[in-house]
Amino acid sequence: MSTIRDEDLTRLLDEAASSYDVPEHGPAEVLAALADQPARPPVVRRRWVQLSAAAVVITAGAVFVATQYGGNDAVNMKTTTAQRADGGADRFTSLGGGDQSYAPLDTQSESVATLSMGTAAGGTSGTRGALPPIAQTTAQVPVTAAVGAPAADEGDSRVVKSGSIALVVKDKRVSPTLTAVQQAARAEGGYIASSSSDEYGETPSGEVTIRVPVAKFENLVAKVRGLDAKVRTASTSGRDVTAAYSDLESQLRTLKATRERFLLILSKTKTISEILTVQQRVDTVSGQIDKIEGQRTLLANQSDLSTLTVSVSEEGDPVVKATTKPRSGIAEAFHNAVDGFVTGVEAIISHSGRALLWLLCLGVVAVVMRSGWRVARRRMV
């Protein structure tokens, strides 16, 4: 086999290459072109610096996670209070998640909140507005609300508030009460998100959902409770989303900076494959930005406007009766007996069709067997 030696190839190529004169101005033009380019800070490549930076980032992340999810449920606040329409003896308050931590909606940034577990001391007890304002409560419960909110002062805090109130009114008072609720909402700068009413039949009822600025939520609740109606049930909840909102904003800033860098790189790419690759990255980052912006907008909307649902029903409403009329022990036993009897009769009736079918089948089988037996006995004889 024939071939060319390495040294000959090297010599031949050197010869071919030497036929091209190296431009003396070449390096100078490179330097000149470089001078025309915008300065770019060099990236530190020292390994120990990179490791230190990584350690700092990991530590900061760990601290953030620990403060964010460190077993503190105080940022999730929920108060549910139910009260009988006829006087309010059976009142209970449930704390969000069963945790002892609790924060009133309007004092969440304080370190100590007060909570009433008994009868209200204020003047709102009784048949109307029996629930005391949350801020007027008396039991001392330590609170660590908003611990996880990074660098968010009082003015920057964002809380998603919502609540529902069920009112019971006298006959023919459903519609005026709903109107009064809507007027109160508008007076507080809110608007009616939805409303519905059932005015057919003997027990009309209605419901209205209100969006009101967070700052006016408590005022609206107080106004609704002050209407000429009994409060059957009431619940309010608040969720501090300051940390989540700040997190979304920081993610947005980072992604936008990333996209800017990719766009800068895109403007300097030369090959089609580079362009496609960078463009794909840009598209991916843009999609992430859109998604997070949507989440942030939703969170901002939820934390800007609170939601209050007010339902109104008459005293004669079967639902109201069923949930508000207490029974004594004997009445409860009698009621259970009646229920049991009715249930038994219903069960017999419901199963009678199937039982009848079985009886018919058995009768047919018996007739057939008896006929067969007679024929067989006659032949044997």
Residues contributing to the site for other proteins (CB under 8 A): 1-6, 8-10, 12-23, 26-27, 29-31, 33-34, 37, 40, 42-45, 268, 270-272
Q: Which is nearer to other proteins, 33 or 381 (CB)?
A: 33
By C-beta, is 29 or 199 nearer to other proteins?
Answer: 29
Least CB distance from residue 47 to other proteins, whole Å?
A: 11
Closest to other proteins by CB, 30 vs 121, is: 30
Instruction: Give least dist CB 39 to other proteins, A.
Output: 11
Instruction: Report the residue number, 38 or 329, with the smaller CB distance to other proteins.
Output: 38
In which element (H, E) is residue 114 found?
Answer: strand 112-115
Contact 181, 227 (CB under 8 A): yes
Q: Are 181 and 311 in contact (CB under 8 A)?
A: no
Q: Report the distance separating Cα 155 and Cα 283, nearest Å.
A: 36
- Please count the other Cβ atoms lying within 10 Å of the Cβ belonging to residue 161: 23
CB 159 within 8 Å of CB 302: no
In whole angstroms, the minimum distance from the beta carbon of 279 to other proteins comes to: 16
Please state the closest distance from residue 6 (CB atom) to other proteins, in A: 7
Q: Is the CB of 26 or the CB of 201 nearer to other proteins? A: 26
Q: Which residues, in sequence order, are CB contacts of 299 under 8 Å at separation 6+?
A: 158, 160, 241, 244, 245, 248
Rounded least distance, CB 48 to other proteins, Å: 15
Which two structure tokens, joined as six digits, stand for 142? 């330590």
CA distances from 125 to 133, 231, 232 (A): 10, 11, 13
Residue 21 vs 202, nearer CB to other proteins: 21
Indicate the residue among 26 and 98 with the shorter CB distance to other proteins: 26
The helix (H) or strand (E) run that includes residue 139 is: strand 139-142
Q: Residues 6 or more apart from 171 whose CB is under 8 A from it?
A: 314, 315, 316
Q: Cβ closer to other proteins: 32 or 337?
A: 32
Tell me how far, at minimum, the Cβ of 19 lies from other proteins, in Å.
4
Instruction: Provide the minimum distance between the beta carbon of 273 and other proteins in the complex, in angstroms, as a whole number.
Output: 8
Q: Which amino acid is at 174?
A: V
Label residues 38-48 b or e (16+ Cβ within 10 Å = b): eeeeeeeeeee
Minimum CB separation of residue 288 from other proteins in Å reads: 25
Residue 116 amino acid letter: S
Nearer to other proteins, 19 or 328 (CB): 19
Please give the full DSSP string across 21-50, using - where no structure is assigned.
PPPTTHHHHHHHHHHHSPP-PPPP--HHHH
42 or 201: CB nearest other proteins: 42
Least Cβ distance, residue 9 to other proteins (angstroms): 4
Backbone angles phi, psi at 213, to 5 degrees: -55, 140
HSE toward the beta carbon, residue 35, CA cutoff 13 A: 6
Tokens linked to 343: 């249930």
Q: What is the nearest approach in angstroms of other proteins to the Cβ of residue 256?
A: 23
